[in-house]
């Protein structure tokens, strides 16, 4: 009988690769926009305003508060002006999602701090979401980007279905890079890659972001993951490993695009905060307060919370 003569664990010769993580990350709370845009029960305007104020009190520094899309398409956000005017004086950065120039002008008038300019990487999703092809959206996005820079409004560009499209399937890295290149050449300095239908995997995220950040080291890249296949947190970690320290997340795991069939909500803010805390990565957001806000919000909406941390802590009364 052969004996094991070498135990790499016992003699200390087995080594694990050191994972270098950032000391802190920035969480952009998108629940008031991405989370509420697609809920069956519309949250009343005063409760939206209270939600945003509570998020600020919990330590959130950047919030995507609403979207200036036509109310016919997103009726849940028809109160965009009223919400934005009520929260515009809070000491944080309030972003609004902007689909076109009409929306931009409305947002500017309402006093936004920043705009999220949105377009899709694929024609299939862009035609459904914005009623034009990707080439036309690149042109429109560049126009609005220049306008925001002139108006001294903060701007981030959000690329939907960057990791996979519900209508065209796989997305290739070179397709994403070509769009990024054009936008960076025209002044974009902050860009988000969105896994709108939750199909990204950690290896893909890590490899793609290493390539993209190497090509454009001066651009602030952020990541936006949906949790359709349960890979949201794993993808966030892959982003951390590749040097990303800005992430979108949504309270209670709310979210979903009307033009992304079967996609679930965003990765839950509470879950991201808890994972960061356990890894020693600072967010400067109070997790206990966020859990309290989640409980209040979902009592209003009368739907289930899609946050593992919330479910565990509620069951154990922690």
Q: Residue 228: inside a domain, yes or no?
A: yes
* Gyration radius (Cα) of the chain, Å: 20
> pTM (2 decimals)?
0.91
pLDDT tens readout for residues 157-213: 999 999 999 989 999 999 999 999 999 999 999 999 999 999 999 999 999 999 999
* 228 and 197 Cβ atoms separated by less than 8 Å: yes
pLDDT tens readout for residues 23-73: 999 999 999 999 999 888 899 999 999 999 999 999 999 999 999 999 998
Which of the residues 28, 86, 257, 297 is marked catalytic? 257
Q: Which residues contact 131 (CB under 8 A, 6 or more apart)?
A: none
Rounded to whole angstroms, the Cα distance separating 75 from 66 reads 12
Q: Residue 196: inside a domain, yes or no?
A: yes
Known catalytic residue at 257: yes
316: confidence class by pLDDT, cuts 50, 70, 90: confident
Domain membership of residue 48 as a residue range: 26-316
Rounded to whole angstroms, the Cα distance separating 281 from 202 reads 19
CATH for 162: 3.20.20.70
Q: Is 5 helix (H, G, I), strand (E, B) or coil?
A: coil
């Amino acid at each position: 009988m052969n004996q094991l003569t070498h135990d790499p664990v016992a003699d200390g010769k087995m080594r694990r690769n050191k994972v270098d993580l950032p000391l802190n990350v920035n969480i952009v709370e998108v629940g008031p926009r991405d989370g509420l845009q697609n809920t069956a029960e519309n949250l009343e305007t005063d409760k939206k305003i209270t939600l945003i104020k509570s998020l600020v009190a919990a330590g959130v520094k950047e919030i995507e508060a609403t979207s200036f899309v036509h109310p016919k398409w997103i009726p849940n956000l028809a109160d965009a002006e009223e919400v934005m005017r009520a929260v515009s004086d809070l000491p944080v950065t309030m972003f609004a999602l902007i689909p076109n120039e009409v929306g931009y002008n409305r947002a500017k008038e309402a006093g936004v701090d920043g705009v999220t300019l949105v377009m899709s990487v694929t024609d299939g999703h862009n035609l459904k979401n914005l009623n034009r092809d990707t080439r036309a959206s690149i042109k429109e996005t560049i126009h609005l980007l220049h306008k925001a820079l002139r108006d001294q409004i903060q701007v981030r560009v959000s690329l939907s279905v960057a990791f996979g499209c519900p209508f065209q399937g796989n997305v290739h890295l070179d397709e994403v890079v070509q769009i990024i290149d054009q936008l960076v050449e025209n002044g974009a300095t902050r860009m988000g890659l969105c896994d709108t239908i939750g199909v990204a995997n950690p290896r893909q995220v890590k490899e793609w972001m290493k390539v993209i950040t190497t090509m454009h080291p001066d651009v602030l890249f952020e990541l936006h993951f949906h949790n359709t296949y349960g890979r949201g947190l794993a993808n966030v970690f892959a982003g951390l490993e590749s040097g990303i320290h800005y992430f979108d997340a949504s309270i209670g795991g709310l979210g979903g695009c009307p033009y992304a069939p079967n996609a679930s909500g965003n990765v839950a803010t509470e879950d991201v905060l808890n994972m960061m805390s356990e890894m020693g990565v600072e967010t400067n957001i109070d997790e206990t307060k966020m859990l309290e806000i989640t409980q209040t919000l979902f009592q209003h909406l009368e739907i289930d919370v899609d946050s593992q941390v919330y479910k565990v802590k509620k069951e154990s009364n922690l």
